[in-house]
Chain A
Amino acid sequence: MRTQLQQVSTRFSITLIDELAPERDDLLFVQVEKDQAVPFLTWLQELAGYTHLVFFTAVDFIEEGYFQLTYMVHDYSTHQDLAVLLKLDREDPVVESIHHLWPHAATYQQEMYEMYGIEFPGSPRLHDDFVLEGWDDLPPMRRDFDTRQYSEDTYFPRGGRKSRDTAEYMKEQLYPGEAETW
């Protein structure tokens, strides 16, 4: 598979990343450019045998300023996994939809729109509620969303118990007269 990918690496402008899973022979990581992602995935599905989309997810790298999308595809004949990584600008999170290749990707995209605010133009039911009903704040899985602050503002936090130093408390409660002599 490695040679096959190296052959098309200039065609799809992909780079293999070896350091991510060095202990596994059946898992490869590939970095792809934004405009080449869908042609590359189409080639993987149609010609290279990667017929199954295992998952499709996003990670927020706020310090570097991008979302990393991961398309994990699987080849049933060789039982090879291939993770296709795509860096997406945080300021302009729009990427091509892949629901025409794998229909169940629409659900992943719906969830990613709700949790990260990533747009997939043309994806079915994209703007419908998925888990959060009537959410009107920043998408909650973005790392600049302060979940603790939101929880404190919204959900009536119950104050914690007062914690005491056990020895001091015993002195005060049980032996109030002798506390000074200890």
Chain B
Amino acid sequence: MKKDEMNEQIAQIDKAMRLGNEGLSDDQKAYFCDQRPERIDPYHGILERFANWARAESLWILGFGTGCGAIELRPLMTSRYDMYRYGIQPRPTPRQAGVFVIGGYASVKTMKRIVRSYEQMQGPKFVLGLGSCTINGGMYWDSYNTINRLDHYIPVDIYIAGCMPRPEALLAGFNRLKEMIKAGQCDGMNSYAENFDWYKKNQKQIIKHWNMPDYNW
């Protein structure tokens, strides 16, 4: 009897900890995970330093040009700027990528895809906000359809100011990101997991037509 009560309590707590997935229909809910993201503690000492060195030297960016700033990524690939010498290369899917470059303005419609892609990326993951639009809205600061501050929706590790920033500025930003990763300062994934409810509240405030799971594993 007592054991049953305890089991029931555990089941209730477990249910409260799980995500509602209210945007999905009942038959869709079976296909998606309802677990919340959790904090993953870093290793300690030389192991973590080695891992950070390895992460910093193989920045694989997600090939998702979310705004006009994505045009600055093309010259980076070619021989003049040649980002491959820094270990940076584009990947076609979020599952293989570690860096998300938000290229300029993000409309609400794109924001939905950005959130979904960001959550599908494998950790540790880093976000690089490119251009003024990600910082304060830039020239679209009073638009009805573009967000003003990217860091209210996903955690951002580094911003590159400018409209548009030159490829040199982008390379400088990538190198700064490398230093930050090596120093162990880029912890965006954990801050997303810890402030998950706040990020979800902000995302749902602008994405009215929410027809995806609350966390896209």
Chain A interface residues (CB < 8 Å from chain B): 129, 131-137, 140, 145, 147-148, 150-152, 154-158, 160
Which secondary structure dominates chain A's binding surface? loop
The 8 Å CB contact of B143, one of A129, A133, A147, is A147
Residues facing A in B140-176 (CB within 8 A) are 141-149, 152
Q: Which of B142, B143, B147, B207 has the most CB of A within 10 A?
A: B142
Q: Which of A136, A151, A154, A160 has the most CB of B within 10 A?
A: A151
Chain A residues positioned under 8 Å from B208 (CB to CB): 133-136
Chain B residues positioned under 8 Å from A135 (CB to CB): 208
When C-beta atoms are compared, the residue in chain B nearest to A131 turns out to be B109
- Assess the B108–A133 pair: CB atoms within 8 A: yes
Whole-angstrom distance from the CB of A115 to the nearest CB of chain B?
A: 10
Q: How far is the CA of A160 from the CA of B136 in the complex (A)?
A: 9
Q: How far is the CA of A151 from the CA of B137 in the complex (A)?
A: 10
- Assess the A129–B149 pair: CB atoms within 8 A: no
B202 CB–A CB distance under 8 Å: yes
- Assess the A151–B209 pair: CB atoms within 8 A: no
> For the side of the interface on B, what is the size category?
20 to 34
When C-beta atoms are compared, the residue in chain A nearest to B146 turns out to be A155
When C-beta atoms are compared, the residue in chain B nearest to A147 turns out to be B144
Chain A residues positioned under 8 Å from B209 (CB to CB): 129, 133-134
Whole-angstrom distance from the CB of B207 to the nearest CB of chain A?
A: 7
B78 CB–A CB distance under 8 Å: no
- Assess the B144–A156 pair: CB atoms within 8 A: no
Q: How far is the CA of A137 from the CA of B144 in the complex (A)?
A: 10
Whole-angstrom distance from the CB of A158 to the nearest CB of chain B?
A: 4
B182 CB–A CB distance under 8 Å: no
- Assess the B144–A157 pair: CB atoms within 8 A: no
Q: How far is the CA of A21 from the CA of B109 in the complex (A)?
A: 38
- Assess the A133–B109 pair: CB atoms within 8 A: yes
Q: Which of A134, A136, A160 has the most CB of B within 10 A?
A: A134
Chain A residues positioned under 8 Å from B178 (CB to CB): none
Whole-angstrom distance from the CB of B12 to the nearest CB of chain A?
A: 32
When C-beta atoms are compared, the residue in chain B nearest to A140 turns out to be B144
Q: Known pairs A135-B208, A147-B142. 4 more at Cβ < 8 A?
A: A132-B108, A133-B207, A157-B136, A157-B141
Can you list 9 A-B contacts (CB < 8 A)?
Answer: A132-B145, A133-B109, A134-B209, A145-B144, A154-B206, A155-B146, A155-B206, A156-B202, A157-B148
The 8 Å CB contact of A154, one of B109, B135, B205, B210, is B205
When C-beta atoms are compared, the residue in chain B nearest to A157 turns out to be B148
Contacts A151-B144, A157-B148 hold; do A133 and B202 have CB atoms under 8 A apart? no
Q: Which of B137, B146, B202 has the most CB of A within 10 A?
A: B137
B125 CB–A CB distance under 8 Å: no
Q: Mark B61-83, 1 if CB is under 8 A from A, else 0.
A: 00000000000000000000000
The 8 Å CB contact of A151, one of B142, B152, B210, is B142
Residues facing A in B104-159 (CB within 8 A) are 108-109, 112, 135-137, 141-149, 152
Whole-angstrom distance from the CB of A138 to the nearest CB of chain B?
A: 10
Whole-angstrom distance from the CB of B159 to the nearest CB of chain A?
A: 11
Contacts A133-B108, A134-B207, A134-B209 hold; do A156 and B145 have CB atoms under 8 A apart? no
Q: How far is the CA of A32 from the CA of B141 in the complex (A)?
A: 39
Whole-angstrom distance from the CB of A167 to the nearest CB of chain B?
A: 26
Chain B residues positioned under 8 Å from A137 (CB to CB): 144
